[in-house]
Structure 1
Amino acid sequence: MNFPSPHARVLPHQIPLGKPPESRGTEEAKQLNCIQGSLLGLAVGDALGASVEFRPHQYLVVHPVKKMQSGGTWGLKAGQWTDDTSMALCLASSLLTMKTFDPYNQMVRYKWWYKHGFLSATGHCFDIGSTTRQSLDLFCHRQKELMKVLSLRNENDVDKLSIIDVKSRQPTFDVNCSKPGKAGNGALMRLAPVPLFYFRNPPLAVEYSGASARVTHGDKKAVDACRYYGALIVAAIRGEPFENLTNKSFYTEHKDWFGSDDLHEEVLRIAAGSYQKNDGYDKGIRGKGYVIDALEAALWAFWKYKGSFKDGVLAAINLGDDTDTTAAIYGQLAGAYYGADNIPADWVDKLYAKELIRDIGSWLHYEGDSFMLENNQPKESSHQQVHSTDKHPNNHNASESMSTVMTSSQFPNSDSHNTTYPAYDPSIQQQAPKQSNTPLNISKHSNDPSLSNPSSTNSQNLHNNPKSNSDQIGKSEWG
């Protein structure tokens, strides 16, 4: 699968991604609805929260968010999203292009967003967290050193490498670029594509959820927050009931998904139900940039407002502070549980590049299944405790059918990888399970006309805003 080159400056709503072959059967349609729901939920939460990012709780008590609206720190149009969605789409584009988990390629794509505005709603990087920025700066430095060692002539050559290429030619290269003790929410906010791709193999999904954090956020709290939340997203897609997802014994009952590496004690505290407080804000629930706060806040909104994506996401936002990220984290799990069809249609209609996001969800579902088949991975139909489907909100067929596979001719300058890589070596990345990858070519497009030129006014606003320079400001000390 090919996404446009970052140098082409193609905006997300202009990307002709298209759809994979049609899903087969009722169960697959339900899974697809959950996967699309998780990505749309992330983006909807991000866009809803963007207009009041950094506003304190006290302000939102008086002026609560109730609808998709414009404005805020970044001067966005209603429905445009921030770094949370951009980085999630970068992660998804890596999984789909490489057809495997490749942390080096993930960092390349995050760098493209940082340096070139790749998959940004405005065409420019903005709202980048300080921890993420520091990690990407270090990655850029390490890439330059790698170019010297490998005698590569330009940045494009080093960007085309896979983690297998890098490790086979420079075994000491470290793709994990986080400084010690970085436990912000910047990895958790982008997590969803990993469990969406690997949900058919829960242990693999949990392992890679953690590995996806390490490249920028190496603290065990950040890694384990992603492992735990990844497991919840997997369970939601696989049809587990609300009572299972919010059960204080979820972790122990799914311990086989987590292997021998126990969760950090602060994540264990959340898994044991620390977020289950009726008076959330008054009892210490905070929408902050610290990953433990962010995880607890998202789960509080999910637990407190059972049965309503809308009520939960608004509650997450109206906690205040890092509003877009708290809501984006909430949206990943809530969207996976409720499904795309249960996210308010008027919000989805206003969402920038909604068709691209929906199509990426379709491809994650399709390619995840292809990965399982091609690598002879065990594909479990359900967890032993999964409920009957009539108790789950996603008990209907997906509303959209999908068309045929396409060629990649529309993107002659795309980021395609025409190499079939060997199996992923578990020694390369924190004992990650083995994988392999093969290329896929597509082309047919479905553009989103909701914003004909989303960057025309906002890009100028961002350049004129001294806070908008990604080298000068971070989302917070945590992000």
Structure 2
Amino acid sequence: MALCLGISLVSRRDFILYDQLVRYKWWYRNGYMSSTGRCFDIGAATSQSLQEFERRQQQFAIKYNIPFDQLDFLSDPHLLADFNVDCSEDGAAGNGALMRLAPVPLFFHKHPAYAVEYSGISGIITHGDLKAYDACRYYGALIVAAVRGETKEQLLDDNFYFKHETWFNNKKLVPEIMNIAQGSYKRNGGYDEGIRGKGYVANALEAALWAFWCDDGFFKTGALNAVNLGDDTDTTAAIYGQLAGAYYGYTNLPKKWVKHVYAHNFIMCLSKWILYEGQMWQSKSYTQNTSQLNFKPNSNVLTAVQSTAARGLAPNTKREYIQKPNAPLHQLTSNASRLPPNTKYPSVLYDAHGAALAAQPDASLRPTITAVPLGRYDPTRIGYTYTGAIHETKNYSDNRLRNPTNRSQV
């Protein structure tokens, strides 16, 4: 799901919740971005949210007389404004929202207030509990701080929240998450003192931070600490790895582990694209020179404004604890400058696969990009199927993802 989220940010060059849900659905139904070609180990909250998303898509297709197979490529902001992406049940507080988080704070790290708020919002579309929202906000802030060069002592400071309160728009964390932020995970006994890597988001957050706190300065030590807690081992380690990776950096990862990562070159290229597009986001996104978000005072309600769908949230969203910027949302997204070309369904279709990634042999920030006309996802493969200008269908299997360095497209 982290790959799905990262590709959404890169291909849309913005934070579009509808597109994120579409890609999660592709993973759920067709194994999109899965190392095995199928979805496995999906959580109950995520699967229920994606089923609800599919149900709403079907209703939406009927309402607007849009072919159902075209719904995954919607871009028209007026249509998206009428689609409520808040698909989670209230009370869903699993660790799945936290597990996939990293692309958001990495993309928006130059804009901490956006990074923190979008981190929280990225989770609530599948995990609607306020604890999941705040866990993602807090962890997103830690990742941003790590990327921006703060020391480990600063990251693990019991007063980290208060020292970065403006990043959180001065919105308090719920007590359970605030307790963790103030150091409840600092227990030398670890498992023996109650640290548990369970599926509950607060437990998972606490366990990942404990692993980071006692990793002795080595990524490998922390990852093993996380796994050895038992229970939901892979998720706990994945959450740990997001913060630890941001802090230690790629060169300090265990080389033997990196060597065996599936689609390593593809992931490296995607990472570069996330950083590149994130750095370019301000100039694309702002029509006026603003240095920070200005939220409405004394209001926690996300109200309906022009181009609400640029963020993918419907005007009648039930999430009362999400705040919005004063500036119109069409000024806060880059989508308006990237409208799709004229098609049979004007301004409705958007080829979410319009950018194919190609690995770079050097370490320069900007990767190369190749346009893929009329791209379509092939549900039988991990790769893509597209029809070219001469109507020649080309299939790219998962072998292109394994080693794309000597191929022109991925």
TM-score range, shorter chain: 0.7 to 0.9
| Residue of structure 1 in register with 2:239 after alignment | 329
Counterparts of 2:41 and 2:360 in 1: how far apart (Å)?
26
- Which residue number corresponds to residue 189 of structure 1? 99
Deviations 1:318-374 (A, max 9, x none): 000100000000000000000000001110001101111111110011000111222
Letter in 1 for 2:16: D
RMSD: 2.5
Once the two structures are superposed, residues 31-69 of structure 1 have per-residue CA deviations (whole angstroms, 9 ceiling, x without a partner) of xxxxxxxxxxxxxxxxxxxxxxxxxxxxxxxxxxxxxxx
TM-superposed CA distance for 1:441, in Å, is 6.0
2:183 equivalent to 1:280:
no
What residue identity is the alignment partner of 2:55? H
User: Residue 262 of structure 2 aligns to a residue in which SS?
Assistant: coil
Residue type of the alignment partner of 2:179:
R
> Contact (CA 8 Å) 2:269, 2:358: kept in 1 or not?
no
Q: 1:255 aligns with which of 145, 165, 186?
A: 165
Q: Which residue in 2 is equivalent to 1:91? A: 5
Unpaired runs of 5+ in structure 2? 293-306, 326-331, 339-352, 362-379, 382-410
1:385 corresponds in structure 2 to: none
Q: Do 1:189 and 1:329's aligned partners in 2 also have CA atoms closer than 8 Å?
A: yes
8 A Cα contact 2:58 2:68, kept in partner: no
1:221 equivalent among 126, 131, 134: 131
Contact 2:17 2:311 in 1 (8 A): no
Q: Which residue of 2 aligns with 1:158?
A: 71
The whole-number CA distance in structure 2 between the counterparts of 1:234 and 1:257 is 10
In 2: Cα distance, 1:196 partner to 1:93 partner: 13
Please state if 1:105 is matched with 2:19. Answer: yes
User: What is the correspondence of 1:337-416 to structure 2 with a 5 Å cutoff?
Assistant: 337-376=247-286
Give distance in 2, aligned partners of 1:218 and 1:371: 28
CA shift, 1:379, in A, is 7.0
Structure showing the higher strand proportion among its residues: 2
Q: Deviation at 1:166? A: 3.0
Code of the aligned partner of 2:259: D
Query: Which residue of structure 1 aligns with residue 221 of structure 2?
Result: 311
Aligned counterparts, 1:117-156, within 5 A: 117-155=31-69
Q: Which amino acid aligns with 2:26?
A: W
Would you say the 8 A contact 1:102–1:162 is kept in 2?
no
Say whether the 8 Å CA contact 1:200–1:379 is kept in structure 2.
no
Superposed CA offset, 1:204-247 (max 9, x none): 00000000011000100001000000000000000000110000
1:108 Cα deviation after fit: 0.6
Structure 1 residues 205 and 431: CA distance shift in structure 2, 3 A: same
**1:103–1:424 Cα change, 3 Å:** closer
State the alpha-carbon separation in 2 of the partners of residues 444 and 144 from structure 1. 31
2:177 paired residue number: 267
- 2-structure distance, mates of 1:285, 1:374: 44
Report the counterpart of residue 290 of structure 1 in structure 2.
Answer: 200
Cα distance, 1:162 vs structure 2: 3.4
Q: 1:92–1:165: structure 2 CA closer, same or farther, 3 Å change rule?
A: farther
The CA distance in 2 between the partners of 1:260 and 1:163, in whole Å, is: 33
The verdict on how the C-alpha distance between 1:444 and 1:184 changes in structure 2, with shifts beyond 3 A counting, is: closer
Alignment length, in residue pairs? Answer: 321
Q: CA deviation at 1:426?
A: 8.2
Tell me the distance in 1 between the aligned counterparts of 2:180 and 2:76: 34
- Are 1:203 and 2:113 counterparts? yes
Q: Secondary structure at the match of 1:187?
A: helix
Find the aligned partners of 1:444 and 1:122 in 2 and give their Cα distance.
20
Q: For 1:178 and 1:444, locate their aligned partners in 2 and report how far apart those are by CA, in whole Å.
A: 31
Maintained 8 Å contact 2:11/2:355: no
Letter in 2 for 1:145: Q
1:183 alignment partner, SS class: coil
Contact 1:178 1:215 in 2 (8 A): yes
What is the rounded CA distance, in whole Å, between the counterparts of 1:260 and 1:154 in structure 2? 42
Distance 1:148 1:300 in 2: 49
Q: Distance in 1 between matches of 2:252 and 2:185?
A: 24
TM-superposed CA distance for 1:304, in Å, is: 1.0
Distance apart, 1:131 and its partner CA: 0.8
Contact 1:221 1:266 in 2 (8 A): yes
From 137, 148, 154, the counterpart of 1:244: 154
How far off is 1:424 after superposition?
4.9
Change (3 A) 1:342 1:280: same
Q: Scaled by the length of structure 2, what TM-score is found?
A: 0.74
Contact 2:196–2:207 (Cα < 8 Å) also in 1 = yes
Report what 2:400 is aligned to: none
Q: Which residue of the partner structure matches residue 11 of structure 1?
A: none
Secondary structure of the equivalent of 2:183?
coil
